[in-house]
Amino acid sequence: MRVLGIETSCDETGVALFDSEHGLLADALHSQTDLHAVYGGVVPELASRDHVRRLLPLIEQIFTEAGLRRGDVDAIAYTAGPGLIGALMVGASTAHGLARAWQVPVLGVHHMEGHLLAPMLEETRPEFPFVALLVSGGHTQLVEVRGIGCYRLLGESVDDAAGEAFDKTARMLELPYPGGPHVSRLAEQGNPERFRFPRPMTDRPGLDFSFSGLKTHTLTTLRQLQAAHGVNEQDRADVARAFEEAVIDTLVIKCRRALEQTGLTRLVAAGGVSANQRLRQRLEAALAKRGAGVWYPRGRFCTDNGAMIAYAGTQRLLAGERDPGPMRAVARWPLHELTAPLTTPAV
């Protein structure tokens, strides 16, 4: 089965062609980073308008790259949620319009299921079951994964997600948007011994996350430095390092705890924050000590992309799933509401 995947949940327009026998045929991505950077965050209306401008040209591009004619697909998958409702509607309406024109089935895909399955696009893929750490945008979740659609939520952020905390800390440090990569680069120059920030919710049982207190601690530290002598470049680097170390330690502690509680030995880390190299190194070291392994998507598939939606959609389309009627676009959609396909597709 050859599937066109469309991703428009937030500020990246992603499209891809995936073939169930031959793998990924082509993919393209347009990031709106420059568009939103001047505002310090995503402006939903601007995001929707840019998706309208970019989507069809990107689809044309990947058909050309794959050497296919327009409409030479068996089905279309699109992100139905969660995300910005206006942005989602651009992708959903385009998918349904093309599906009707090309007379092929169409299916709305859960954005986080796409991230969760993104490592399946790699040559070395994890086997089920595994624990998934999903750190994407406004989500930080630990999920027990027994198979496609067989998900049990183990823990999630009760306030700010890790990605949101990175972006807000970047603003405190007067760094550009999006904040995560800039905080990490600044942290490389920081002294890890100077500050030790709290590792939130690691001193109690459970697998939930909370990063709002860490954000407040960062702000308090910067204000104290400002009152004492002003904040210089080394101060900013040291604060960035302390913040990043606290986030990484917290994620690693919770991942290790999740594997211990479930008895599993495989971890998948996906979503934008999973591209952080220090996080990857720390996870690999911590899990190796207990005989566990960790899998990631390649860097460009950590952020939102069409390939993960095409892949996730293909698995459910192969099992016979289809949109039952009108297009679907939902801003909120808990992952645990998903169910397993009626038949088991070959992954």
- Domain containing residue 11: 2-117+301-337
Same domain, 176 and 42: no
106 forms bridges with which residues in the sheet? 76
Q: What total number of domains does the chain contain? A: 2
User: Phi first, then psi: what are they for 217, rounded to 5°?
Assistant: -60, -40
The Cα 266–Cα 127 span in angstroms is 8
Looking at the domain assignment, is residue 101 inside a domain?
A: yes
Query: Is 237 inside any structural domain?
Result: yes
Q: Say whether both 79 and 24 belong to one domain.
A: yes
Predicted pLDDT at 40: 87
* Phi-psi sector, 137: left (phi>0), alpha (psi -120 to 50), beta: left
276 carries a ligand binding annotation: yes
Indicate whether 145 and 101 sit together in one domain. Answer: no
Q: What is the CATH number of the domain that holds 321?
A: 3.30.420.40
Is residue 207 situated within a structural domain?
Answer: yes
Residue 28 is predicted with a pLDDT of 98
The answer on 207 and 284 residing in a single domain is: yes
Q: Quick one: 69 and 134 in the same domain? A: no
Q: Please count the helices (runs of H) and the strands (runs of E) in the chain.
A: 10, 10
Residue 343 is predicted with a pLDDT of 67
Q: Is residue 63 in some structural domain?
A: yes
Whether the CA torsion 325, 326, 328, 334 is positive or negative: it is negative
Contact 178, 128 (CB under 8 A): no
Find out whether 19 is annotated in a ligand binding site: no
| Domain assignment present for 342 | no
- pLDDT at res. 177: 87
Question: Residue 346 domain-assigned?
Answer: no
299 annotated to bind ligand: no
Give the span between the Cα atoms of 84 and 8, in whole angstroms. 9
Same domain, 248 and 186: yes
Separation between Cα atoms, residue 261 and residue 274, nearest integer Å: 22
167 is in an annotated binding site: yes
Q: Is 135 annotated as a binding residue?
A: yes
- pLDDT for 166: 94
φ/ψ (deg, to 5) at 289:
-65, -25
Residue 344 included in any domain: no
Based on the domain organization, do 21 and 148 belong to the same domain? no
Q: Is there a contact between 154 and 142 (Cβ–Cβ < 8 Å)?
A: yes
For the chain, the C-alpha Rg in angstroms (whole number) is 20
Residue 238 is labelled as binding a ligand: no
Q: Are residues 135 and 157 in the same domain?
A: yes
In which residue are the tokens 């004619």 written? 69
Mean pLDDT of successive 10-residue stretches along the chain, which has 347 residues:
98 98 98 93 96 98 97 97 97 98 98 97 96 91 97 95 93 92 96 96 94 95 96 98 97 98 97 94 95 95 97 97 94 93 63
- Position 345 scores a pLDDT of 53
**110 marked ligand binding residue:** no
Residues 205, 106: one domain?
no
Co-location of 228 and 328 in the same domain: no
CA dist., res. 209 & res. 82, Å (int): 20
What confidence score (pLDDT) does residue 178 get? Answer: 87
Whether 181 and 78 share a structural domain: no
**Predicted local confidence at residue 123, as pLDDT:** 93
149 with 238, same domain? Answer: yes
